């Protein structure tokens, strides 16, 4: 008698969805990353009811071929890596080939696309709703690029749906995801609408002034007033971005954006280095505000640590820590004399 059986594909996807798709914001994150990987220049995000009713993301990227559309929804299907070498030099945001499979197993998903290659075959779409994992292909009117529509998230997994917070809280998370990405891809235009209302409308930014303008729109004018722009390079590492002087701090660590090679990360080593740099200039319990970009050779950092990819592992932890600490410490020390001169007035 057999007591061991292979999980059905649907069940395996739903289990995987538990890891990747925690809430509407995780769906938005995965879909936005796909649009970025597809080389989109403009991405429009529309959500209803905090994303639990509808998430629609449209991009003008390279699109998906008709032949690939259904495959895009299966697990471990990806166009981004083919072998272990690719994995070690990963340049795209996605690579696990899991997001669309997971999301479509816990929602009603519509994927419509028109590939840059498909000059005259037009657009195509596939739909998948939770259980039914055999998506049907149909022609669709669509400009070049891709639209993913995710309706009724967790409609077939009520236990997960119960964990969703209020509409505002869930939307706040989505907003944060969009902001994080908008700060990592200045060259892309973004829009975000919630319940038919425009929340962000960000034009592509090229010059430093335009980037600074986006920083102001996303982080608020006070952030900009107190921030200095830095750009430091040493031992193959580059750190650039905006750090706020101690004249602007927060009671929560809510204005801290840190990117490694264009990828948003949350990392203990990074937090520690930043904290040390600010240690002597901030009151206990206050948190610094910054938007920082660390750039290094992809081979010197492992991004394949966690499914949501928020963590990274640096090959040379000490080098990175010291570089961050020294760069920030110096940036803060450099501006302090000027500060002193201004403050007595
Ligand atoms: P991954 O991003 O890890 O490859 P996904 O499940 O997120 O896995 O997507 C599967 C595949 O579908 C991608 O590798 C890509 O080829 C295609 N795809 C998904 N979204 C888009 C998009 N917006 N534009 C073009 N291709 C897409
Ligand atoms: Mg992806």
**Are 153 and 300 members of one domain?**
no
**Are 24 and 113 members of one domain?**
yes
Mean per-residue pLDDT over the chain, rounded = 88
Residue 4 lies in a domain: no
**What average pLDDT does this structure show over 87-110?**
82
Residue 309 reports pLDDT greater than 90: no
Residue 263 reports pLDDT greater than 90: no
**What is the Å distance from ligand 1's center to 209 Cα?**
33
Last residue of a domain, one of 172, 202, 232: 202
The predicted structure's pLDDT at residue 9: 74
**Are 328 and 285 members of one domain?**
yes
**Are 131 and 63 members of one domain?**
yes
- Smallest-distance ligand from the CA of 101: 1
Residue 43 lies in a domain: yes
Residue 97 CB less than 6 A away from ligand 1: yes
Residue 116 CB less than 6 A away from ligand 1: no
Of 70, 100, 303, the one to substitute when testing ligand 1's pocket (max ligand atoms within 8 A of C-beta) is: 100
Residue 97 sits in which domain range?
Answer: 9-202
**What is the Å distance from ligand 1's center to 311 Cα?**
21
- Atom number in ligand 1 closest to CA 95: 3
**Are 169 and 227 members of one domain?**
no
**What is the Å distance from ligand 1's center to 30 Cα?**
9
Residue 235 lies in a domain: yes
Residue 99 CB less than 6 A away from ligand 1: yes
- Smallest-distance ligand from the CA of 100: 1
Residue 87 reports pLDDT greater than 60: yes
The predicted structure's pLDDT at residue 119: 67
193 — phi, psi (to 5°)?
Answer: -125, 140
**Are 271 and 151 members of one domain?**
no
Residue 2 lies in a domain: no
- At 336, the pLDDT band (50, 70, 90 cuts) reads low
Residue 207 lies in a domain: no
**Are 158 and 227 members of one domain?**
no
**What is the Å distance from ligand 1's center to 259 Cα?**
22
d(CA 75, CA 100): 8
**What average pLDDT does this structure show over 72-92?**
73
**What is the Å distance from ligand 1's center to 64 Cα?**
8
- At 133, the pLDDT band (50, 70, 90 cuts) reads low
**Are 172 and 321 members of one domain?**
no
**Are 161 and 63 members of one domain?**
yes
Residue 142 CB less than 6 A away from ligand 1: no
Residue 78 lies in a domain: yes
pTM for this prediction: 0.87
Total tally of structural domains belonging to the chain = 2
Residue 256 lies in a domain: yes
The predicted structure's pLDDT at residue 304: 66
CATH of the domain at 196: 3.30.565.10
The predicted structure's pLDDT at residue 97: 77
**Are 317 and 227 members of one domain?**
yes
CA-nearest residue for atom 17, ligand 1, is: 72
The predicted structure's pLDDT at residue 343: 41
CATH of the domain at 332: 3.30.230.10
d(CA 244, CA 275): 13
Share of the chain above pLDDT 90, in %: 64
Residue 292 lies in a domain: yes
**What average pLDDT does this structure show over 289-306?**
86
**Are 198 and 275 members of one domain?**
no
**What is the Å distance from ligand 2's center to 3 Cα?**
35
Distance of CA 298 to the CA centre of its chain: 18
pLDDT digits (tens, 9 = 90+) for 180-229: 999 999 999 999 999 999 999 999 999 999 999 999 999 999 999 999 99
Q: Half-sphere exposure (CA, 13 Å, Cβ side) for 30?
A: 25
The predicted structure's pLDDT at residue 259: 94
By DSSP bridging, strand 42-48 and strand 54-59 are: antiparallel
Residue 103 reports pLDDT greater than 70: yes
Residue 72 CB less than 6 A away from ligand 1: yes
326 or 2, which is more confident: 326
Single out the residue of 122, 124, 123, 79 nearest to residue 100, CA to CA. Answer: 79
Last residue of a domain, one of 154, 171, 202: 202
CA-nearest residue for atom 2, ligand 1, is: 94
Q: Name 251's Cβ contacts closer than 8 Å, sequence gap at least 6.
A: 285, 286, 287
**Are 60 and 155 members of one domain?**
yes
d(CA 43, CA 189): 6
Last residue of a domain, one of 140, 172, 202: 202
């Amino acid at each position: 008698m057999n007591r061991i059986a292979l999980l059905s594909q649907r069940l395996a996807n739903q289990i995987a969805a538990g890891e990747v798709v925690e809430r509407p914001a995780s769906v938005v994150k995965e879909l936005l990353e796909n649009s970025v990987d597809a080389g989109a220049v403009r991405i429009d995000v529309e959500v209803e009811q905090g994303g639990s009713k509808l998430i629609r993301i449209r991009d003008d990227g390279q699109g998906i071929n008709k032949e690939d559309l259904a495959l895009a929804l299966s697990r471990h299907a990806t166009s981004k890596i083919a072998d272990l070498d690719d994995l070690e030099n990963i340049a795209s945001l996605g690579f696990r080939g899991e997001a669309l499979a997971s999301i479509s197993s816990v929602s009603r998903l519509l994927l419509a696309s028109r590939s840059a290659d498909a000059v005259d075959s037009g657009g195509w779409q596939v739909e998948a709703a939770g259980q039914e994992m055999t998506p049907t292909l149909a022609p669709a009117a669509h400009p070049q690029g891709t639209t993913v529509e995710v309706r009724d998230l967790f409609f077939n997994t009520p236990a997960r749906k119960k964990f969703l917070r209020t509409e505002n809280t869930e939307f706040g998370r989505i907003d944060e995801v969009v902001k994080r990405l908008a700060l990592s891809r200045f060259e892309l235009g973004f829009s975000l609408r919630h319940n038919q209302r425009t929340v962000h409308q960000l034009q592509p930014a090229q010059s430093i002034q335009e980037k600074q303008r986006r920083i102001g729109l996303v982080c608020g004018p006070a952030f900009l007033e107190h921030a200095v722009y830095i750009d430091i390079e040493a031992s193959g590492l580059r750190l650039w971005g905006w750090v706020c002087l101690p004249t602007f701090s927060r009671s929560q660590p809510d204005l801290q954006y840190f990117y490694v090679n264009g990828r948003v990360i949350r990392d203990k080593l990074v937090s520690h280095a930043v904290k040390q740099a600010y240690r002597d200039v901030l009151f206990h319990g206050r948190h610094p505000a910054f938007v920082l970009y660390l750039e290094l050779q992809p081979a010197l950092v492992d991004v394949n640590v966690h499914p949501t990819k928020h963590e990274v592992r640096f090959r040379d932890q000490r080098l990175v820590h010291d570089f961050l600490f020294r760069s920030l410490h110096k940036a803060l020390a450099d501006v302090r004399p000027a500060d002193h001169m201004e403050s007595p007035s």
